[in-house]
Chains A and B, each alone.
Chain A
Amino acid sequence: MTVTMEAWLDKPPPAGRRPLPAAGGDTTTTIDFDEFYHAHFRSLTVQLAAYTGDLHQAQDLTQEAFCRAFARWAKLIHYDDPLAWIRRVAWNLARSRWRRLRTARSFLSRQREEHSPGPTPDRVALTAALTLLPPNHRRAVVLHYLADMSVTEIARQERVAEGTVKSWLHRGRSALATHLTERTEENDRG
């Protein structure tokens, strides 16, 4: 998976890591938490950043989701799809009205805002276009294009009918395409 490769870009693999269990293998083999974290943290953060429009908050939310996953890791590793669980929790946190976050990183993250690399033009255009979408449509396109989820998978996570997801995707796509085209035309005229 492309995402997994990118996750290892600047991190050396931990020494003595255990291989992930093969299909049909012993179900009691432990999935290594650190490995799982490195495999999925960035991808999840990018999804939430696209949705919330705030990279640092997305990082905090993702870190919080991994904390909740770690708290029940012994159970989670027996799920068919632990990633689906963490993803759902992360997204529910992003949508939650309470934002019950108390990670130590929150304070530090805000400190770093001045030092992070500036956004590229690509990022700005898409972020701006995404903020114009209603939350349902925005969620659907982000889950589809960034999380690579099928309509069925999105319907399952969002607990709505597949027809609803298709409708959200359809409208989200059209709106995005329109906004991005206008933006391109503006830039060309620029």
Chain B
Amino acid sequence: MADHDELLHGDFAAYRSALIAAVEPAGPAAVRSTVRRRRRMAVAATGALALALVAAPVVGYAALNRDGSSPPLPAGSADPVPNTGAPTPTATPSATASPTTGRIDRADLLTARLDLPAWGPDGSCPTEGVRLVDGEGDVGDVRLENATRGVRYIDVDGDGTAETIAVLECLTRDLVPPPQQVVAFDRDATGRIVTIGQVAHPNTDQPEWFRSLEVRPDGSVRIEVWLNPPSDGSSPTSANRQSRTYRWDGQRFVQTGGPSSFPEPAPAKLTITATDLVYGPPDENGMRRGTMTVTITNTGGSEGQPIVTFPSRDSDEPEHTEWSDCRPLTAKPDGYRCLVEPLAPGKRKTYTFPFFTPTDAPPATATVRVDLADADGSALPSGGDQTTYLIKRST
């Protein structure tokens, strides 16, 4: 190989001599005039927009409206509005070439038709010819997010000029938090806005979302990720917050720092306690009515949906019409099985079950079960519990 090395040195030296004579530099004067011209064009372009600096409100997750839209911006704030009628003033009489800088301002992003990277498993979010919305929008729109202080500029690909980073949200009806992605944009040689690639999107197997991002001088993008806060509106703890850093590797953005996801939480685990079923005196038809309450607690780390199963007993009829909290699944002879609303980790809920009986059966004990439901409403083999209760008459 040393042999090859020397030969190659010779070949390249000969190549260099031959080629260097053919190089015709445009010259440093051309550099200066180009840079001057670009500076003039940049000044002319920004002069045409009425830009007001807006202190963007920090929109906490709990403040999001139920449909996923942000609360409206406070009255009196101004958004940059591109002139729709007035012509853009130009610095020179000759036709001004469209700006080719990768530093794309918010207004230009909002008027462009963009091709976006895929959003993730959700197929309902648009990717082609997308026109971004600002602030409120309809289901199916893609919003240019404002809460993270708008678009950012940083040189991600080391070509000496900045590109544009923006956080996009797909407005959906039933996905909370809504799908997000962070995208890097640039302009091509004709001035058209193009997508460099997707910096990142939140993992979809857990309810995590991008809260804010910062661009670093070294061209990396650091994103703060939050796990869905508890439904009681309390702020996330450090266990529910992460920082992930991404960088362009020449072909795509890759993660270079921070954990890739939140640790998988412990599965749901349900426990059950029950009061006795106590019947009152018979009515004019000889029916006795009674209620019992059942308390279910989720002691696990994930949300779970409980299925409650009462034994099938001839003497005790569930008063189904009154079982509003528990949706019936099956009846005799498998037992009275019903489904309640999902229970968040650490939460406890009490349900009331009215029964009636036509008989004067002696007191008995019975067993009530709670199980975790799978997607089809069948009981999972683990994570459940059972307890016994007394059935008796008050008189």
Taking Cβ atoms with an 8 Å cutoff, the residues of A that contact B are 6, 9, 33-34, 37-38, 41-43, 45-46, 49-50, 55, 59, 62-63, 65-71, 85, 88-89, 92-93, 95-96, 98-105, 112, 116-117, 119-120, 122-123, 125-127, 141, 145-146, 159, 170, 173-174, 176-177, 180
**Residues of chain A contacted by B26 (CB below 8 angstroms):** 59, 63, 103, 105
Q: Does B28 contact A (CB under 8 A)?
A: yes
**Residues of chain B contacted by A65 (CB below 8 angstroms):** 160
State how many angstroms separate the Cβ of A100 from the closest Cβ of chain B.
Answer: 5
Contact of B19 with A70 in the complex, beta carbons under 8 Å: no
Q: Does B4 contact A (CB under 8 A)?
A: yes
Contact of B100 with A100 in the complex, beta carbons under 8 Å: yes
Contact of B8 with A37 in the complex, beta carbons under 8 Å: no
State how many angstroms separate the Cβ of A108 from the closest Cβ of chain B.
Answer: 8
State how many angstroms separate the Cβ of B8 from the closest Cβ of chain A.
Answer: 6
Contact of A93 with B159 in the complex, beta carbons under 8 Å: yes
The 9 tightest CB contacts between A and B, nearest first, are: A68-B160, A89-B160, A145-B12, A177-B4, A92-B159, A37-B28, A92-B158, A34-B28, A41-B25
A-B contact pairs, 14 of them (CB 8 A): A9-B21, A33-B28, A33-B31, A49-B19, A55-B19, A55-B23, A70-B31, A88-B158, A89-B159, A93-B159, A100-B102, A100-B186, A104-B34, A120-B18
State how many angstroms separate the Cβ of B35 from the closest Cβ of chain A.
Answer: 5
Known: A55-B23, A98-B188, A177-B4. A67 touches B31 (CB 8 A): yes
Q: Does B194 contact A (CB under 8 A)?
A: yes
Partner of A122, one of B15, B24, B189, B196: B15
User: B98's closest neighbor in chain A, by CB?
Assistant: A102
Contact of B189 with A101 in the complex, beta carbons under 8 Å: yes
**Residues of chain B contacted by A89 (CB below 8 angstroms):** 158-160
Interface of A is mostly: helix
Partner of A99, one of B8, B97, B189: B189
User: B11's closest neighbor in chain A, by CB?
Assistant: A126
Q: Does B284 contact A (CB under 8 A)?
A: no
The docked-state distance in angstroms from the alpha carbon of A89 to that of B158 is: 6
Contact of A180 with B11 in the complex, beta carbons under 8 Å: yes
Among A50, A85, A122, chain B packs the most CB atoms within 10 A around the CB of A122
- Beyond the given A71-B38, A102-B189, A116-B24, could you list 13 further A-B residue pairs with CB under 8 A, ordered by the A residue number? A6-B20, A37-B25, A37-B31, A38-B25, A63-B26, A67-B38, A70-B35, A88-B158, A92-B160, A93-B159, A95-B250, A98-B196, A145-B9
State how many angstroms separate the Cβ of A187 from the closest Cβ of chain B.
Answer: 14
Contact of A67 with B23 in the complex, beta carbons under 8 Å: no
The docked-state distance in angstroms from the alpha carbon of A89 to that of B162 is: 12
Contact of B35 with A67 in the complex, beta carbons under 8 Å: yes
The docked-state distance in angstroms from the alpha carbon of A114 to that of B356 is: 101
Taking Cβ atoms with an 8 Å cutoff, the residues of B that contact A are 1, 4-5, 7-9, 11-12, 14-28, 30-32, 34-35, 38, 97, 100, 102, 157-161, 186-189, 194, 196, 249-250
The docked-state distance in angstroms from the alpha carbon of A38 to that of B31 is: 12
Contact of A100 with B25 in the complex, beta carbons under 8 Å: no
Contact of A122 with B11 in the complex, beta carbons under 8 Å: yes
Known: A104-B34, A122-B14. A177 touches B8 (CB 8 A): yes
**Residues of chain B contacted by A59 (CB below 8 angstroms):** 23-26
The docked-state distance in angstroms from the alpha carbon of A175 to that of B207 is: 51
State how many angstroms separate the Cβ of A178 from the closest Cβ of chain B.
Answer: 9
Contact of B12 with A146 in the complex, beta carbons under 8 Å: yes
The docked-state distance in angstroms from the alpha carbon of A103 to that of B11 is: 32
State how many angstroms separate the Cβ of B101 from the closest Cβ of chain A.
Answer: 8
State how many angstroms separate the Cβ of A10 from the closest Cβ of chain B.
Answer: 9
**Residues of chain B contacted by A170 (CB below 8 angstroms):** 1
State how many angstroms separate the Cβ of B148 from the closest Cβ of chain A.
Answer: 25
State how many angstroms separate the Cβ of A154 from the closest Cβ of chain B.
Answer: 14
Contact of B5 with A173 in the complex, beta carbons under 8 Å: yes
Known: A100-B100, A117-B22, A123-B15. A176 touches B8 (CB 8 A): yes
Partner of A46, one of B19, B27, B188, B194: B19
Contact of B21 with A117 in the complex, beta carbons under 8 Å: yes
User: A10's closest neighbor in chain B, by CB?
Assistant: B21
Among B1, B21, B22, chain A packs the most CB atoms within 10 A around the CB of B22
User: A126's closest neighbor in chain B, by CB?
Assistant: B15
The docked-state distance in angstroms from the alpha carbon of A48 to that of B316 is: 87
The docked-state distance in angstroms from the alpha carbon of A95 to that of B157 is: 10
The docked-state distance in angstroms from the alpha carbon of A59 to that of B25 is: 7
State how many angstroms separate the Cβ of B285 from the closest Cβ of chain A.
Answer: 82
Known: A63-B26, A100-B100, A123-B18. A145 touches B160 (CB 8 A): no
**Residues of chain B contacted by A112 (CB below 8 angstroms):** 24
User: A33's closest neighbor in chain B, by CB?
Assistant: B28
Known: A34-B28, A105-B30. A126 touches B12 (CB 8 A): yes
**Residues of chain A contacted by B7 (CB below 8 angstroms):** 177, 180
The docked-state distance in angstroms from the alpha carbon of A146 to that of B250 is: 22
The docked-state distance in angstroms from the alpha carbon of A23 to that of B18 is: 33
**Residues of chain B contacted by A93 (CB below 8 angstroms):** 159-160
**Residues of chain B contacted by A95 (CB below 8 angstroms):** 250
Contact of A173 with B31 in the complex, beta carbons under 8 Å: no
**Residues of chain B contacted by A45 (CB below 8 angstroms):** 23, 25
**Residues of chain B contacted by A66 (CB below 8 angstroms):** 28, 31
